[in-house]
Chain A
Amino acid sequence: MVRIIDRRFDSRNKSAVNRQRFMRRFKGQIRKAVADAIAGRSIKDLDNGESVSIPARDLSEPQFHHGKGGVWENVFTGNDQFSSGDQIQRPPSGGGGGSGKGKASKDGEGEDDFVFNLSREEFLDVFFDDLALPNLVKTQLARISEYKTQRAGFTNDGTPANINVVRSLRGALGRRLALSSPYQGRLRELQRQLEELLETRPDDDPEVLQLKDEIGILRAKIEAIPFIDTFDLRYNNRIKIPKPTTQAVMFCIMDVSGSMDEEKKATAKRFFMLLYLFLIRTYEHIEVVFIRHHTIAKEVSEEDFFHSRESGGTVVSSALEMMRDILHQRYLNGAWNIYGAQASDGDNWENDSPHCRELLSDTILPFVQHFAYIEITPGEPQNLWREYEKLTGGHPNFALQHIEGLPDIYPVFRELFRKKLA
């Protein structure tokens, strides 16, 4: 007889392990493909999944088989024109008529890329793999908003849902044993007497009847001991333990002056978008302060930061001043890890750049964990870069990077936030 088994509900995703192995093995290629992909994407779908292609030769599984050449004789179907002995021109390679079918199919899939889809999670995993905010300090356990519940033995009171049946019944059993033991002893005693009496006396002897009465009373007493009592109940105890968390704030400063043309702005936005994605994905308690500036700086919402189109001249110091003020007002209570990232084309009002450097070195860098400056310009570094360069020696928490165009974003991003070994 046939056995029909319904397996539709068990072991889904059996291949997940194999899929992970595949991803791990080709991490390098996948990461490269992801980096290429990021350059070609619009900001909106940055964090979607991605179809990734890997050169097929990288993941070939070689076997011994025949190559082209030598003598082959093969059989084909559907003869419509040939007779024995006909000479035929060799078709151009890869055509259906020529070599053996084994060969043809192998040639066919030779150089094609292997394409597959990454889910959003996998995409971002690859993307932000091995990245971390530098110098994050976990000193402050401020703002405990998260608790972990953990088992902590048993208690005498709690909600019915948490009743521990085994413990409760074990308690009840113990109590029943304890409370009934005096009666049990007496009962055994009386029963022994009764048996002795019965050997010599008839059933309706008054003494026998009296013993029987007493035994009945004792039995009733034992019966009356409750099977389970509120006193026996035990509850699983769960306690909440605060989970230590770190909090951080990131200042995103973007130059939107006239000299930043559309392309540069797009690059800057994309950089910050990456940064933002990275932060919200990796760190739970993170605040992001968006500052955009031309001649005057303005703190804006995420929406405005990425999508507003206002523009003007350039005074970079305005943004730094704003950052300094916000920093001092809101975040300098010792509870925050503070980070800053600034993107500009470096084309500042000439006299302002030294001022920026001073602002940065005196009022900002001493308080921040890390500050990164990204200059987006296709050619030579501009005056802001030259000023900032002077800072690099004395401030290990300051980094500056140069982005020429979209393809540089990802490498620079990785460079800035590469996980450093402690």
Chain B
Amino acid sequence: MSTKRVRRKQPLPSPGEWTFELIEAYHAEIDRVAREFGLDIYPNQVEMITSEQMMDAYSSVGMPVNYHHWSFGKSFLHTEKGYRRGQMGLAYEIVINSNPCIAYLMEENTMTMQALVIAHAAYGHNSFFKGNYLFRQWTSADAIIDYLLFARNFLTECEERHGEEEVELLLDSCHALMNVGVDRYKRPAKLSLTKELTRQRERAEYLQSQVNDLWRTLPAHQTKTQVMEERRFPSEPQENLLYFIEKNAPLLEPWQREVVRIVRKVSQYFFPQRQTQVMNEGWATFWHYTLLNTLYDEGLLTDSFMMEFLHSHTNVIYQPSYNEPWYRGINPYALGFAMWTDLRRICENPGDEDRRWFPDIAGSNWQETFDFAMRNFKDESFIAQFLSPKVMRDFRLFAILDDDKESKMQVSAIHDEAGYRRVREILSDNYNLGSREPNLQVWNVDLRGDRSLTLRHQAYKRRPLHGESEEVLKHVARLWGFAVKLEVTHEDGRIELLKETRQDRRRTEGS
């Protein structure tokens, strides 16, 4: 510890046990420092919960309200088992992208941990939610809690009317399509509870009439079809399967369309989180580290507080090497923290290498650069733009090419002058959802024939679909109500039929 530091203030007490007064005191100091750094946040709401409630929150995808489904029960049992046996610690916090921003603190945490969590979640994540373009564009922080409330009530009502089982089967099918139920490029409409309620009926009626219209165009006689010009539907391939089904599945009842819509909205809400893991966690970690260190420098934190805090912090950003048994890929906290920290270094103390690589930002005002980076990037572009040679060296990153046609794998690039750009490119692509997840599209509906739906998988680097896809296809068929075909377009343009599911509507309704 440095000896020259002038302790200006009396440090805040740091007992093991927290109290509400202490949390408020710590919060006030963290808040003051965060404002000095110019963090722009939603108002904070801190909620104290028990470990059991934390598991509850965990298993309903972190949301304070959600509809009921067995899969959440499964995930609860799973979490509970891990926790009871001590295999797994619970997350210290959960933070919800809402306005006000809700952060859950577990009662088991020590005072130090509570302060860490407040800095991390209520200032780090919170400011990221408020600033990042993906969150601004794709989620409605003001309305999400209301919307989930609406969703739960609606589903409960459906269960009363149509039976739990019926609703459960429908939800199963929708959940199977969650990953392909998001608009990747188009901005969704804003959520609002009152609007949802008043519009829901209108929408139901309107949609139903649209669907009927669609099928009314069916010519009565088969012979006429030859005369008619071949018409494709949808005219453009559609990437959002749930949306397509909600709007076009011929046999769904209005309430079923609404359920599809709810799952789609929830899935859309989480879409930005999946694309900003490294950035978001790194940002929050950087800020808890910076805020608490600033407080320590001001003399507000005791040494014992700092020791405990640093211990946790070090655990969070630990990155094992590829050949260690506990290697689980790249730790987003570690990479993110390292990148943000290095970005600050590049701004404040750039070397020759940094000036070469980052002419625009080397030596710039770090807070402005941070703000710009936080607002306008997602993992993929953030890495492509800001991953510096120094971080690559520190992590000793290397890339391996695994081609199943070759007998051996090849090291395609490592952390050296020749490989920096290549490694960065590959890592960035690893975080690109578009290449990480299979690209599936609604290709065609056989309007004049058996009404079958054709999905196409656009193969990328010859990566096949997982065998599970057959199961998913059954779910698509359940929603669509008629046969569903899955085709694959190979990169050489060949089209191959992978699987076809027959669907007898009457049978599924009985089951």
Contact = CB atoms under 8 A, between A and B. Distances in A.
Of B76, B418, B465, B467, most A-chain CB atoms within 10 Å: B76
B322 A77 contact: yes
Contact of A3 (B45, B60, B436, B471): B45
Contacts of B73: 15, 17-23
A96 B322 contact: yes
A7 B397 CA distance: 44
A102 interface: yes
Contact of B68 (A21, A67, A86): A21
B81 A116 contact: yes
A71 B463 contact: yes
B72 A99 contact: no
B426 A65 contact: no
B328 A101 contact: yes
A75 B321 contact: no
A394 to B, nearest CB: 41
Main DSSP-derived SS at the B contact region: mixed
B408 A89 contact: yes
Contact of B468 (A3, A7, A62, A74): A62
A117 B44 contact: no
Interface in A166-194: none
A135 B78 CA distance: 42
Given A76-B400, A96-B323, A5 B46 contact: yes
Q: Which size bracket describes the interface of B in this complex?
A: 35 or more
A3 B45 CA distance: 5
B411 A115 contact: no
Contacts of A159: none
B179 A63 contact: yes
Interface stretch (B3-11, B49-57, B296-304): B49-57
Interface in B408-443: 408-416, 418-419, 423, 426-427, 429-430, 436-438, 440
Contacts of B399: 73-76
A104 B328 CA distance: 9
Given A64-B440, A64-B469, A74-B400, A18 B409 contact: no
A95 to B, nearest CB: 10
Contacts of B409: 87-90, 97-98
Contacts of A90: 402, 407-409
B321 A78 contact: yes
Contact of A70 (B77, B404, B429): B404
Given A64-B438, A77-B321, A82-B398, A21 B462 contact: no
A29 B389 CA distance: 53
A114 B411 contact: no
A329 interface: no
B475 interface: yes
Contacts of A65: 179, 437-438, 465-466, 468
B410 A14 contact: no
A367 B339 CA distance: 85
Contacts of B48: 4-8
A42 interface: no
Given A62-B475, A67-B467, A96-B327, A73 B100 contact: no
Given A19-B76, A64-B437, A75 B427 contact: yes
A176 B251 CA distance: 69
Contact of A64 (B45, B427, B472): B472
Contacts, number: 271
Q: Which size bracket describes the interface of A in this complex?
A: 35 or more
B185 interface: no
A84 B411 contact: yes
A78 B320 contact: yes
B453 interface: no
Contacts of A79: 322, 396-398, 414-415
B449 interface: no
Contacts of B400: 73-74, 76, 88, 97
Contacts of A68: 404, 464
A309 interface: no
B262 interface: no
B468 A60 contact: yes
Nearest to A10: B53
Given A15-B72, A70-B463, A73-B401, A22 B426 contact: no
Given A59-B74, A61-B176, A74-B426, A14 B402 contact: no
A87 to B, nearest CB: 4
Interface in B19-74: 20, 23-24, 27, 31, 43-50, 52-53, 55-56, 59-60, 68-74
Contacts of A97: 322-323, 400, 409
Interface string A217-233: 00000000000000000
A371 to B, nearest CB: 38
Given A21-B68, A75-B430, A84-B412, 5 more contacts: A12-B50, A25-B168, A63-B472, A65-B465, A117-B77
12 contacts: A14-B60, A63-B179, A66-B437, A70-B462, A71-B463, A73-B426, A75-B423, A75-B426, A79-B396, A88-B411, A96-B327, A116-B81
| Across the A-B interface, the 9 shortest Cβ-Cβ residue pairs | A78-B321, A22-B73, A101-B329, A70-B463, A18-B73, A70-B462, A62-B471, A67-B466, A71-B461
Interface of A: 1-8, 11-15, 17-26, 59-80, 82-90, 96-102, 104-106, 114-117
